[in-house]
Structure 1
Amino acid sequence: MSILLQVVDTTMHTAQTAQQTVAKISLWGLLGKGGVLMYPLYFLLILAIFMFFERFIAIRKASRIDANFMHMIRDNILSNNISSAKSLARNTDSPVARIIEKGLRRVGKPIDVIEKSMESVGRLELYKMEKNLNILSLIAGIAPMFGFLGTIVGMIELFFEITSTHTFELDTIAGGIYVKMITSGTGLIIGLIAYIMHNYLTTQVDKTANEMEVASTEFIDILQEPTK
């Protein structure tokens, strides 16, 4: 009976030791085994996060505008108080206000001239909001490629080592393969994160562009209303 208890204790101790060993294989530990090409991937991840928050803050700032802005512009125009409308638009920091200000400067000229001048400002404001979004798109494309490159380089090194040492142990081969595939997994994850960030920001830009278009159309309609 005592021998049986000793066997059970030994088995439980071995299982606990193995469990502790498995628990020590953390995510950071795995990432640290990825090799030299993990550093470019880390850089791409940091760059993607930085660009996302920089563009997010800029786009969010651009999309903010007082809900009564166009109402005040309309009241000033219909009251033939163009100078007050210009002052209001000039002191409001938003793409919509800059587009309206450009239109106010062209008041008195044909409608098509006013529309074209406002469209040119709108394109410029849209370009400002989309600035550096292509970097996120680039990261989404090249991060998986860096990951695959790291895996290929690692596999070449592994097979070269096997050829040189003539070692065909399964543990060595399997361990080498899973380590080399870390870069592929990391690259795919970073690429996916950058892709989601890019799509989200593009959606926010589209919403702001739609607000600009609506405000421009409303402004043209106001100009065609009879003044008081």
Structure 2
Amino acid sequence: MMLLAQIVDTTHKLVDTAKNLPQVAAQDDLRFGDLLIKGGWIMLPIGLLAVLGLVIFFERYFTIRKAAKDESNLMSQVRTSILTGKLESAIAICRNSNSPLGRMLQKGLLRIGRPIKDIEGAIENIGKLEVSKLEKNINILGIIAGIAPMFGFLGTIYGVIKIFYDISKTDNISMGVISGGLYVKMVTSAAGLMVGIVAYVCYHILNMMVDKVILKLETDAIEFIDLLEEPSK
């Protein structure tokens, strides 16, 4: 009976130990937030670059999207006003539109009476100014895409240097010491690459959107010039 009681007692202890194993393993699991903190001080500039990149992307995205709205109604109204001889009405329509195309057409309408080349030059100059406004700060995303991975590699290299410095002081070259510190420092490289990739994609998305706006403005400008030349044909 004593032996049976010992077996039962041992069994209960094993069951209790098995129940506690998942809890211990869960405590040893890597957590994303803990890894970011263990990445060290280099995670601060990487985080700032990530926030700056997102702010620039969304601000430019909505600005460019607004500039890319359909302006067929504006062109139709301007065409009708010009063909009916209502130049002031056409200028007012362009002024009230508050859009890149409206400002381009307004500048062209104010030059009516001059040679077509002068009108084209005025429209082209305003177009370049409007495009430069749309491209504002987009290049910063390209810079972020380039330097964020560099910050990540810098953090990893700094971590490796510190690991080997600690080894030289303690004379402990066990694999656990090396790998335990190295995986933490690799977090900075992963974070830098992730920020760089996202910034790179956002940079090209905005550039493609600007290219579409430029093509649309050029098409509408050509249509406007053709409209001015119609009476003289």
Q: What range describes the TM-score normalised by the shorter chain of this pair?
A: over 0.9
Which shows bigger deviation, 140-149 or 63-72? 63-72
Is residue 12 from structure 1 mapped to residue 23 from structure 2 by the alignment?
A: no
Runs of 4+ in 1 over 6 A off after TM superposition: none
Is the 1:144–1:191 contact (alpha carbons within 8 Å) kept by the matching residues of 2? yes
Aligned to 2:165: 160
Cα distance in 2 for residues equivalent to 1:180 and 1:26: 15
Q: Which residues of structure 1 form unaligned runs of 5+? A: none
Instruction: Give the unaligned 5+ runs of structure 2.
Output: 1-6
Q: Which has the higher contact order (CA 8 A, sep 6+)?
A: 1
Q: CA deviation at 1:7?
A: 7.2
Residue by residue, what CA displacement relative to the aligned partner does 1:41-83 show, whole Å, maximum 9, x if unpaired?
0111111111112212221222235431101111111111111
Which of 109, 113, 116 is the aligned partner of 2:114? 109
One-letter identity of the residue aligned with 1:128: K
Q: Does 1:76 align with 2:101?
A: no
Q: Does 1:221 find its partner at 2:205?
A: no
TM-score of the pair, normalised by structure 2: 0.91
Is the Cα contact below 8 Å between 1:102 and 1:121 reproduced in 2? yes
Matches within 5 A, 1:52-131: 52-131=57-136
Structure-1 residue corresponding to 2:4: none
2-structure distance, mates of 1:218, 1:145: 48
Residue 63 of structure 1 aligns with an amino acid whose one-letter code is A
Identity %: 42
Q: Give SS of 2:231's match.
A: coil
Partner of 1:30: 35
2:186 partner amino acid = M
Q: Which has the larger radius of gyration?
A: 2
- 1:78–1:225 contact (8 Å) kept in structure 2: no
Structure 1 Cα separation of the partners of residues 115 and 10 of structure 2: 101
Measured in 1, the distance between the counterparts of 2:214 and 2:95 equals 19
Given the alignment of the two structures, is residue 178 of structure 1 paired with residue 183 of structure 2, yes or no? yes
Question: What's the secondary structure of 2:72's corresponding residue?
Answer: coil
Distance 1:4 1:118 in 2: 91
> Is the Cα–Cα contact under 8 Å of residues 63 and 94 in structure 1 kept in the other structure?
no
Provide closer, same or farther for how the CA distance between residues 51 and 31 of structure 1 changes in structure 2, counting only shifts above 3 A.
same
Distance 2:195 2:203 in 1: 12
Report the TM-score when normalising by structure 1: 0.93
Deviations 1:115-174 (A, max 9, x none): 111111100000000011111110000000000001001100110100111012222211
Q: Paired residue for 1:46, among 44, 51, 55?
A: 51
Cα distance in 2 for partners of 1:7, 1:209 equals 75
In 2, the alpha carbon distance for the partners of 1:114 and 1:154 equals 62
Give the paired residue count. 226
Question: How far apart in 1 are the matches of 2:207 and 2:8?
Answer: 71
